């Protein structure tokens, strides 16, 4: 017995981590099916030491599948998630395609697992930069309420996929070999779907995803809208500036919050020490604070640099770091699957 699980986008930056998370999960698994594009069909991957052949994604791929984890882009989810549901699978979708659909729960298990009860076959995994912020802020919101959030992100390149990681590596090599900046090759970043491309090596790019309303990028809107949906409170004021930096994995965020009720830094530290999914790393006297490099491979969200705002009562600053491919994507998706199993919600 156990579940038959499909991974859609199994060759990608997130998909390969999904396979790793499935190797570690407590979920009972009977079978794992790895799906990708035609280009990858026939390639091999291993699951718990066993060799699996990657198959081309087609609607029939979902016959006899119980849980399908999607991370192959929004267009693929749009087309194939309904095919999976039609065949009786529950879909956990890591793309942005269904996130704001009122029929689709948007879930961070530490924050709003109750929302899973209303699922109709598709559950959306939030954006990576939103997830880690939610994990850190939910305990504070529960204790003192949350009036406002202003976040600036320092996001790793793996969020943009395997080809963006390669692009950054090549640019870095070329730069170190003396290639002039204007000759560095940039074909993907800041955003594959936009017109212009700039090198990320030795740079910082204040654009993630395409520009949308009011001068904000779509990534910034995702942080704004997803926060309100996950916390089920449209009144929380949220604003974001999302920046790509030349880091491989681990998103970092400078988060400024204003709580509704009075709170002390010591109380926030206590909350961070006891809340699920969080590791407090906050000791300036010993230069202890969260770092992207140390977050790689970990499932938790790391919080530090907690301090009161100099001027605003109830204003606080935090530094929040997590592995964007794990809690930001693959682990949160597998954790949703584990939670569905615990809550007996796998069968629609």
Would strands 122-124 and 90-93 be described as parallel, antiparallel, or unpaired? parallel
Q: What distance lies between CA 292 and its chain's CA centroid? A: 14
Region from 21-29, 124-132, 284-292, 340-348 binding ligand 11C, contact rule CB under 6 A: 124-132
Instruction: Return the sign of the alpha-carbon dihedral for residues 43, 74, 114, 278.
Output: positive
Tell whether residue 162 is a contact of ligand A2P (CB under 6 A): yes
Region from 49-57, 121-129, 141-149, 288-296 binding ligand 11C, contact rule CB under 6 A: 121-129
Tell whether residue 229 is a contact of ligand 11C (CB under 6 A): no
Among 10, 27, 81, 128, binds ligand 11C (CB under 6 A): 128
Q: Please, which of residues 304-333 interact with ligand 11C by CB under 6 A?
A: 324
- Min dist CB 26 to ligand 11C, Å, is 25
Q: Which residue has the tokens 């030349």?
A: 246
In 3D space, the residue among 169, 166, 168, 131 whose CA is nearest the CA of residue 151 turns out to be 131
Tell whether residue 159 is a contact of ligand A2P (CB under 6 A): no
How many residues form the binding site for ligand 11C (CB under 6 A)?
A: 12
208 binds, among ligand 11C, ligand A2P, none (CB under 5 to 8 A by kind): ligand 11C
Among 9, 159, 199, 250, binds ligand A2P (CB under 6 A): 9
Tell whether residue 151 is a contact of ligand 11C (CB under 6 A): no
Residue 164 and residue 179: Cα distance in Å, rounded?
Answer: 19
Residue 203 and residue 137: Cα distance in Å, rounded?
Answer: 29
What value, to the nearest 5°, has the Cα angle with vertex 97 and ends 321 and 63? 110
Tell whether residue 7 is a contact of ligand A2P (CB under 6 A): no
Residue 29 and residue 17: Cα distance in Å, rounded?
Answer: 17
Which C-beta is closer to ligand A2P: that of 76 or that of 257? 76
96 binds, among ligand 11C, ligand A2P, none (CB under 5 to 8 A by kind): ligand 11C
Instruction: Return the sign of the alpha-carbon dihedral for residues 181, 163, 253, 285.
Output: negative
Among 20, 23, 25, 37, binds ligand A2P (CB under 6 A): 37
Please check whether residue 92 is in contact with residue 336, taking contact to mean a CB–CB distance below 8 angstroms: yes
What value, to the nearest 5°, has the Cα angle with vertex 342 and ends 341 and 348? 40
Question: Active-site residue numbers?
Answer: 128, 251
Tell whether residue 155 is a contact of ligand 11C (CB under 6 A): yes
Please check whether residue 262 is in contact with residue 145, taking contact to mean a CB–CB distance below 8 angstroms: no
Please check whether residue 153 is in contact with residue 239, taking contact to mean a CB–CB distance below 8 angstroms: no
**Which residues of the shown chain bind ligand A2P in the complex (CB under 6 A)?**
9-15, 36-37, 39-40, 57, 72-73, 76, 161-163
**Which residues of the shown chain bind ligand 11C in the complex (CB under 6 A)?**
95-96, 127-129, 155, 159-160, 208, 219, 222, 324
């Amino acid at each position: 017995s156990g579940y038959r699980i499909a991974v859609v986008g199994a060759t990608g930056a997130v998909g390969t981590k999904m396979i790793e998370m499935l190797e570690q999960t407590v979920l009972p698994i009977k079978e794992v099916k790895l799906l990708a594009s035609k280009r990858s069909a026939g390639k091999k991957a291993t699951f718990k030491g066993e060799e699996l052949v990657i198959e081309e994604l087609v609607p029939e791929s979902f016959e006899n599948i119980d849980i399908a984890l999607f991370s192959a882009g929004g267009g693929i989810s749009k087309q194939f998630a309904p095919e999976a549901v039609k065949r009786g699978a529950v879909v956990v979708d890591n793309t942005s395609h269904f996130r704001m659909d009122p029929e689709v729960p948007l879930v961070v298990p530490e924050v709003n697992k109750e929302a899973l009860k209303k699922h109709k076959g598709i559950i959306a995994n939030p954006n990576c930069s939103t997830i880690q912020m939610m994990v850190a802020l939910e305990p504070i919101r529960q204790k003192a309420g949350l009036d406002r959030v202003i976040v600036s992100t320092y996001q790793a390149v793996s969020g943009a996929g395997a080809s963006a990681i390669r692009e950054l590596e090549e640019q870095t090599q070329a730069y170190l070999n003396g290639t002039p900046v204007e000759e560095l090759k940039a074909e993907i970043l800041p955003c594959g779907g936009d017109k212009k491309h700039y090198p990320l090596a030795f740079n910082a790019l204040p654009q993630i995803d395409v520009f949308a309303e009011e001068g904000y990028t779509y990534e910034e809107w995702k942080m704004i809208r997803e926060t309100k949906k996950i916390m089920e409170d449209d009144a929380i004021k949220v604003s974001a500036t999302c920046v790509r930096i030349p880091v491989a994995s681990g998103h970092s965020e400078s988060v400024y919050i204003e709580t509704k009720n009075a709170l002390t830094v010591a109380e926030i530290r206590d909350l961070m020490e006891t809340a699920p999914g969080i590791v407090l790393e906050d000791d300036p006297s010993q230069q202890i604070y969260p770092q992207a490099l140390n977050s790689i491979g970990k499932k938790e969200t790391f919080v530090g640099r907690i301090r009161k705002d100099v001027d605003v009562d109830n204003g606080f600053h935090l530094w929040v770091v997590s592995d964007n491919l794990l809690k930001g994507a693959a682990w949160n998706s597998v954790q949703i699957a584990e939670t569905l199993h615990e809550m007996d919600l796998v069968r629609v």
